Amino acid sequence: MKTISRKQEIITVASSLFNEKGYKAVSMRDIAKAIDIKAASLYNHIKSKQEILSEIILKVAEEFTTGMENVVSENISAIKKVEKVIELHIDITVNHSQALAALNNDWMHLEEKDLIAFVKMREDYEENFRKIIKQGMDTGEIKSYHPEVILFSILSTLRTLYLWYQKRGKVDVNILKKDMVSVLIKGIV
Amino acid sequence: MKTISRKQEIITVASSLFNEKGYKAVSMRDIAKAIDIKAASLYNHIKSKQEILSEIILKVAEEFTTGMENVVSENISAIKKVEKVIELHIDITVNHSQALAALNNDWMHLEEKDLIAFVKMREDYEENFRKIIKQGMDTGEIKSYHPEVILFSILSTLRTLYLWYQKRGKVDVNILKKDMVSVLIKGIV
DNA sequence: AATTCTAACTAACAAGCGTTAGTTTTGTTA
DNA sequence: TAACAAAACTAACGCTTGTTAGTTAGAATT
């Protein structure tokens, strides 16, 4: 019978606390207490508080990056790509909803090296999304509103999904995907 | 010639710093340094760090509340109400974009009394928005998707607008309103 | 049985936190 | 010009922060 490593437990517990109060408001003693050990003992498993944050954030950031790269490289219509991006977000949200809180709110507390890497990933991601939308406008699949407004509107919804997912409890993933695709792509009128 | 009060200056500077790094990551010494005085001098003008946070957050929260109440009480179609809510958000975003960072990310650090008041306002706001959408579904103005998904989708976009507004610099407010109304209401296809 | 490894512990550190007390400077009013 | 109020200052408080050093108990390996 295999149990998860203590390091993973620390990261999971920290994710949950960061999710509630934010990185800066959670102390190493808070994390330790939640695991029922002393703060100093954490350092047998992790290098620093920074390391915890960076593991949480960069791991999901990489999932977004590779997921987006897969979508972009597929030979399908722009709308179909947008659909796949929506599904990517929902999958990650369902599996790592607490990590997304840190990713969205605490990325600025990454140390310089990680911060630069993160911002780069984020910009590349947005740029890829932008290209998909422009492709859709070129082919006439997507209406020619200001592309930045469309990009922002969809991405905002997807990035905030973790908040609603946590509040409403476990919604069925497939229903969620279907509804989100409908609302985001077809609009409400 | 009248200049703004020191208290207001503190709150404005604090808003800006909270916007960058979050409430817990900004110290009273940071705020003081940005004004070029000593931390202790801040207390000639404000009661506590908490007071700064609560003034920042509750002031805009109240703008949302009264704005929404005005919209709800008007005798217009549901779609028209949604449009007015969108415009309300854009106006507040343009005038208080930094305060919105604190409102979105640091509300949980309000002291109990203010926290309760804030959460109540937030819930009431969402409930009013929900009613507008349901009204629109009853009259057939709005497609009958899961209303919660529509609510969440529009509200996420509006609540995150401050981030984009800050990044893209001053966009013309009227153009922004027109585009947002188009994208959010008519969708992209 | 002796040794090594793992993961906990206690104790303590220097630095930073929000805040208070008491004092001095500055600017306005009598 | 003397008096007063506003707003700055210095100094310090008790507490919390992330982290390190050194130690110990138990498990795994030799």
Q: B110 by DSSP, 3-state: which? A: coil
d(CA B124, CA B115): 14
Q: Which residue has the tokens 């998860």?
A: A4
Chain D nucleotides covered by protein, CB below 7 Å: 6-12, 16-22
**Cβ of B38 less than 7 A from strand C:** no
Which residues on chain A are in Cβ contact (under 8 Å) with B157?
152-153, 156-157
Task: Round to whole Å and give the CA distance between B58 and A124.
Answer: 36
Q: What topology is assigned to A50-186 in CATH?
A: Tetracycline Repressor; domain 2 (1.10.357)
- Quick: pLDDT tens for A80-98: 999 999 999 999 999 999 9
Q: Which amino acid is at B164?
A: W
Residue B56: how many CB atoms within 10 A of its CB?
A: 25
CATH number assigned to the domain with residue range B49-186, chosen from the 4 options 2.70.70.10, 1.20.1050.10, 1.10.357.10, 1.10.580.10: 1.10.357.10
How far apart (Å, rounded) are the C-alpha atoms in residues B81 and B74?
8
Average pLDDT, 10 consecutive residues per value, chain B (189 residues): 76 98 98 96 97 98 98 96 97 97 98 98 98 94 87 95 89 88 77
Whether A4 shows a pLDDT value over 80: the answer reads no
The count of CB pairs under 8 A between chains A and B is 113
CB nearest A146 (choices: B24, B179, B184): B179
Angle between helices A6-21 and A28-35 in degrees, nearest 10: 120
B39 CB and strand C closer than 7 A: yes
Pick out the nucleotide with least CA–C1' distance to B36: D8
Give me the residue spans of the domains in chain B: 49-186
Nearest to B15 by CA among B46, B53, B47, B63: B53
User: A178 in contact with B at a CB cutoff of 8 Å?
Assistant: no
Q: On chain C, which bases lie within 7 A of the protein's CB atoms? A: 6-12, 16-22
Chain B residue with Cα closest to A141? B189
Chain A interface includes B24 (CB < 8 A): yes
Total number of residues shown for chain A: 189
Residue A60 is predicted with a pLDDT of: 98
Q: Is A14 a residue whose pLDDT tops 90? A: yes
Residues of chain A in contact with residue B187, where contact means CB-CB under 8 angstroms, are 183-189
pLDDT at A1 over 80: no
A22 contacts B24? CB cut-off 8 A: yes
Residue A128 reports pLDDT greater than 70? yes
